């Protein structure tokens, strides 16, 4: 195999494919947001065939999309902010099930921070800047990073790291909250910061798309007195850039393995 063609394609070969794999939701706003992100990636990288797929609720499923691509290279990009169950189990299973298809598939890293080695976490700069971009313009003196939640303790550790990195980037105290599972809810985190002396607490959304868990976080934070709540990341340019970087890294790993 020659060098990674996922970074560019020749005129004699099919366009390399990029499949953005979202969690999926019963809320139609989530799929609409994912499709908007796919369009933004398509505009930024016209040399790629960009498709969206969903692990649950919405369709199509990743294997369906891969099966429709024919003989070409493809990268699955998890639209996930943690390496929890979906990233560690579901997507590798899709990769294994795709082994008999003519498409040659690589799996990119999740978009959120991951443990590079024990005790060390890498926070993608583009993700950090995407969170900052989404924060409303209101002045604030503390920030809560509101996330969906997970039972995976290692994944929660990366969310906590992201919250600390966001606070350091903004120069204000920070806290983390979860809409489900273990950990404080958004309103609890807002109240803790206010009890610690903060007067204007903002909430950053550690969500890629809107849905029930985002709504829970936003409502809880506002009831507790948050001065502003950021929208989900959606199709911000930094997220498009991060996806491009994940695709390039996965394509390079594919070439080395060959």
Q: Each residue's pLDDT tens digit in the chain (258 positions)?
A: 233 344 444 445 688 999 999 999 999 999 999 999 999 999 999 999 999 999 988 789 999 999 999 999 999 999 999 987 666 678 889 989 999 999 999 999 999 997 655 556 789 999 999 999 999 888 999 999 999 998 889 889 999 999 999 999 999 999 999 999 999 999 999 999 999 999 999 999 999 999 999 999 999 999 999 999 999 999 999 999 999 999 999 987 665 454
Query: 105: closest CA among 142, 143, 62?
Result: 62
**Which residue's structure tokens are 């594919």?**
254
Query: 49: closest CA among 9, 108, 106, 4?
Result: 9
Confidence (pTM): 0.89
State the pLDDT at residue 117.
Answer: 52
- Compute φ and ψ for 202, nearest 5 degrees: -100, 155
Task: Tell me the CA end-to-end span of the chain in Å, nearest whole number.
Answer: 6
**Which residue's structure tokens are 């996806």?**
243
Query: 78: closest CA among 16, 146, 155, 19?
Result: 19
């Amino acid at each position: 195999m020659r060098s990674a063609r996922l970074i560019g394609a020749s005129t004699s070969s099919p366009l390399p494919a990029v499949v953005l794999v979202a969690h999926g939701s019963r809320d139609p706003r989530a799929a609409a947001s994912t499709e908007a992100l796919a369009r933004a990636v398509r505009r930024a990288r016209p040399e790629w065939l960009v498709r969206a797929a969903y692990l649950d609720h919405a369709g199509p499923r990743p294997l369906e999309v891969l099966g429709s691509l024919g003989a070409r290279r493809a990268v699955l990009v998890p639209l996930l902010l943690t390496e929890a169950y979906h990233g560690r189990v579901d997507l590798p299973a899709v990769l294994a099930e795709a082994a008999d298809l003519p498409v040659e598939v690589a799996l990119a890293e999740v978009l959120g921070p991951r443990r590079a080695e024990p005790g060390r976490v890498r926070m993608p700069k583009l993700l950090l800047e995407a969170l900052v971009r989404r924060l409303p313009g209101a002045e604030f003196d503390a920030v809560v990073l509101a996330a969906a939640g997970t039972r995976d303790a290692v994944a929660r550790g990366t969310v906590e790291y992201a919250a600390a990195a966001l606070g350091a980037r903004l120069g204000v105290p920070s806290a983390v909250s979860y809409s489900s599972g273990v950990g404080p809810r958004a309103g609890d985190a807002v109240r803790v910061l206010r009890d610690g002396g903060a007067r204007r607490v903002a909430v950053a959304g550690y969500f890629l798309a809107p849905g029930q868990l985002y709504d829970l976080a936003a409502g809880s934070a506002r009831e507790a007195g948050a001065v502003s709540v950021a929208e989900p990341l959606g199709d911000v340019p930094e997220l498009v850039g991060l996806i491009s970087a994940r695709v390039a890294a996965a394509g390079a790993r594919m070439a080395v393995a060959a």
